[in-house]
Amino acid sequence: MQHRVFPHTHVDVFMHGLGSHVAVGRAGIEASHSGGVRKQYHGALGGTTKFEGIIEALKAAVYDYIGLCQPELYVRTTREIADWLGKTLKFYSSDAKEAIENLELPVIPRPGPKPTLGVDDADDLDLKIWEKEVDEYMAQRQWLKENLKTAYIVIWGQRSDTMRARAEATTDFKTTTSKDQDIIKLLKVIKQIMFCNDTVNFLPPKKVNRHADNHRTSMDLHPNSKECMAA
């Protein structure tokens, strides 16, 4: 059981993991790359993406659209990002990892009924244990929300401009741009595009939202991320 720690508000997020240093501030995302071999993804159906992610450890784990179906790139990228977040997030990282992998929120077990002193041999210790379980449950729920907001910033930073334009052109995209930053809905949109899903609907060209404000990767979107990341 992890020690109960609740997230607090911070101005910057620094992600140190697997050789990466990403600072997210009011000016947006800045990434410091230490160099290395440039990796490219070669699609099974042809085509190459030269886009690199903003995080050094995830440079080749990207969401790109080059006019071809790329299901294997989506699967590999999502798996690598989920694994990286599982190692980098400070608290309850496995919950966020599971949500990204399964595209649904994990079920967090609720504490049982509050024990009543004198009933079923319940004593003061039973009551204290229950109170701790409630605290743990509330902390786990809160950290899941904060971790998924952090994951949203990370994943949106791993997409190319072409993918961004394609995603913004879908009718489902607006459901990912709320203040809650729904990472599961965003990933479903990206997955539909990269799998060439016939059910994905696109807006008429004149209605496509091309303004950066909806998805700017800045601390205005997520002021609570610093504590989410492991030192």
- The answer, yes or no, to whether residue 221 has pLDDT greater than 90, is no
CB atoms within 10 A of CB 200: 18
Is the pTM above the cut of 0.75? no
pLDDT tens digits for range 9-22 = 332 343 433 333 34
CB atoms within 10 A of CB 15: 27
Q: How many domains does the chain have?
A: 1
Does some domain include residue 215? Answer: yes
Compute the average pLDDT of residues 181-201.
Answer: 87
- Residue 175 one-letter amino acid: T
pLDDT tens digits for range 121-172 = 999 999 999 999 999 999 999 999 999 999 999 999 999 999 999 998 988 8
- pLDDT of 214: 46
Residues 6 or more apart whose Cβ sits within 8 Å of residue 67: 47
Residue-number span of the structural domain to which 221 is assigned? 13-228
Does some domain include residue 5? Answer: no
Contact yes or no for 9/227 (Cβ under 8 A):
no
Does some domain include residue 62? Answer: yes
The two three-digit tokens of residue 222, written as one number: 């997520």
- The answer, yes or no, to whether residue 34 has pLDDT greater than 60, is no
Does some domain include residue 120? Answer: yes
Does some domain include residue 4? Answer: no
